[in-house]
Amino acid sequence: MQTLNAFVHTLRFEAEDTITVDLRPVGGGELPAFTPGSHIELHLPNGLERSYSLCNNAAERHRYVVGVLKDRASRGGSRCVHEQLRIGTQLVISAPRNNFPLQESAEHTVLVAGGIGITPLLCMARRLHDLRRPFELLYFARSRRSAAFLDELKRLEVPLHLHFDDEQGGPPDLKALLAARPAGPDRHLYACGPTPMLDAFEKFSAELGHENAHIERFAAVEHKAADDARATFTVELARSRKTFTITPEKSILDTLLEAGVDVDHSCKEGICGSCETRVLCGEPDHRDSVLSAKERAANKVMMVCVSGCRSASVTLDL
């Protein structure tokens, strides 16, 4: 995985418990280009690695900007960002990776943001605005004071539907909102936010015939092994011509790493997409939170950190 040396140029308050971190390259120059929906990984001072979506304009090459909510249930990542990062702090970061790409030529785009899920969608909104493509943004938050980037969205004159739970007396009627948006083969919906909202978004999108519904999760969803998943199976590496037996005690990734096989990885939870590996033969048992149902059915790639196998063996492009 490509890593870069960056420093904290600016910390900015955006909303209650939410800040943006403006990262610039150490020594100046340009950063690798990115596309809307991309994220980067921060190697934090406390030893943790965390992924955060880029929210600045994708045309910018001099900086990366991430938005970070101080999560009350933080396992140390967001708390470290809020409490330990200071102007000038140097960090190792990853190059951008995109598991949530924007279809820029869509006939119409609907962006659905819940809370801090606005970060990747803000980048998409900027891009669609610059391209003058038709789109709208549905933005939900518990309160107005916890909703980041409102002033910026208003300046951009983004077609905006706002819902604040404390002002409306409860959460939005997501099914009704999606039902009011026509479905079609060239219409795309993107959602990012808390797990219950994303689960509902997937359910309602399927029920309403929205075939191009995309999600980005900030937290991994636990996927149980399929009923026909193998407890023990074989992994064959096509390029290095090595074979390994995978048992329930260790993941594919851990088995390969212990054997000295170089595999990109980060979260080990099936959410960052870093360990995505091409499948040449065999049927994986997908347990990640990255791939869509269509991508899982295609069996062209798998996340080796959490996924298993439904066939006796699987051949990987490693």
- Pairwise CA distance, residues 299 & 28, whole Å: 42
- What are the φ and ψ backbone dihedral angles of 196, each rounded to 5 degrees? -60, -40
Helix, strand or coil, per DSSP, at residue 314:
strand
The encoded tokens of residue 188 equal: 């795309």
Domain 3-94 listed as CATH 3.40.50.620: no
Q: 233-316 domain in CATH 3.10.20.30?
A: yes
Give the number of other CB atoms < 10 A from CB of residue 294. Answer: 9
Among 296, 292, 252, 250, which Cα is nearest to 275's? Answer: 252
Is there a contact between 275 and 305 (Cβ–Cβ < 8 Å)? yes
Architecture of domain 108-217: 3-Layer(aba) Sandwich (3.40)
Task: Judge whether 108-217 and 233-316 match in fold.
Answer: no
Per-residue pLDDT at 295: 87
What pLDDT, in 10s, does the model give residues 64-80? Answer: 999 999 987 777 899 99
**Chain position carrying tokens 């610039």:** 24
Domain ranges of the chain: 3-94, 108-217, 233-316
Q: What is the pTM of this model?
A: 0.86
**Could you tell me the pLDDT band of residue 292, with boundaries at 50, 70 and 90?**
confident
Convert the pLDDT of each residue in 160-216 to its tens digit. Answer: 999 999 999 999 999 999 999 999 999 999 999 999 999 999 999 999 999 999 999
Using DSSP's 3-state secondary structure scheme, residue 300 falls into: coil
SS3 161: strand
Q: In whole angstroms, give the CA distance from residue 111 to residue 190.
A: 5
What single letter denotes the amino acid at residue 308? G
